[in-house]
């Protein structure tokens, strides 16, 4: 099965409007209408089938014309498997009960958007944000981001990381 980027996916790649992990983003780029799902999975980037199904459910990827839909994409988007959330808030969760993983998923696109808006001046900081893989990594970069963009613009990032 070969997947291609949708127009929505193309736009999301440019403006980072849809939250995807760095690994998902790297795999997303590989879906060029030439590589099969199995080839992308075998590329050694740590991507799993659920990540691809998630991108299909978000409307970022679709089967190439004349190609059969992937099994998970044939189901309604509500049936796409999602990571299991713990029954109780994880240690270090705030009053909202969000896990650190969820906080990272919420804060990552905000951080990339903020640092990306800095242009060449924020290039290195943007690379550091894209290199993060955990809540703790992003939390450690938050003061640098705040200093670069200002407290007012960084308020959304602070809220995503701490609430």
Query: Domain check: are 69 and 104 in the same one?
Result: no
- Single pTM value for the model: 0.45
Q: What is the pLDDT of residue 112?
A: 86
Tell me the C-alpha distance between 38 and 40, whole Å.
5
Tell me the C-alpha distance between 55 and 40, whole Å.
13
- Residue 5 pairs in a beta bridge with 61
Mean residue pLDDT across the chain: 78
Report the greatest alpha carbon distance in the chain. Answer: 50
Whether 94 maps to a domain, the answer reads no
Tell me the C-alpha distance between 55 and 91, whole Å.
29
Query: Domain check: are 126 and 70 in the same one?
Result: no
Instruction: Please tell me the least confidently modeled range out of 19-28, 39-48, 82-91, 152-161.
Output: 82-91
| Structure tokens, 69 | 């839909």
Whether 87 maps to a domain, the answer reads no
- In which band, very low, low, confident or very high, does the pLDDT at 95 lie, cut at 50, 70 and 90? low
Q: For 129-158, what is the mean pLDDT?
A: 90
Tell me the C-alpha distance between 63 and 37, whole Å.
10
How many CA atoms, within 13 angstroms, populate the side-chain half-sphere of residue 37?
22
Residues spanned by the domain of 30: 2-78
Query: Domain check: are 19 and 69 in the same one?
Result: yes
Whether 118 maps to a domain, the answer reads yes
- In which band, very low, low, confident or very high, does the pLDDT at 90 lie, cut at 50, 70 and 90? very low
> How far does the chain reach from its first CA to its final CA, in angstroms?
41
Highest mean pLDDT among 38-52, 75-89, 97-111: 97-111
Q: For 94-99, what is the mean pLDDT?
A: 69
**Of 86 and 154, which is predicted with more confidence?**
154
């Amino acid at each position: 099965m070969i997947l291609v980027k949708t127009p929505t996916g193309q736009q999301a790649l440019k403006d980072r409007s849809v939250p995807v992990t760095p690994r998902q983003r790297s795999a997303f780029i590989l879906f060029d209408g030439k590589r099969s799902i199995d080839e992308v999975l075998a590329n050694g980037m740590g991507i799993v089938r659920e990540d691809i199904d998630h991108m299909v459910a978000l409307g970022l990827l679709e089967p190439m014309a004349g190609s059969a839909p992937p099994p998970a994409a044939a189901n309604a988007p509500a049936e796409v498997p999602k990571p299991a959330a713990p029954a109780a808030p994880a240690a270090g969760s705030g009053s909202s009960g969000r896990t650190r993983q969820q906080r990272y998923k919420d804060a990552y696109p905000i951080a990339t958007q903020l640092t990306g808006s800095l242009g060449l001046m924020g290039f290195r900081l943007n690379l550091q944000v894209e290199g993060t893989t955990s809540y703790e990594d992003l939390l450690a970069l938050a003061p640098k981001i705040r200093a670069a963009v200002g407290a007012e613009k960084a308020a959304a990032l602070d809220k995503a990381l701490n609430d």
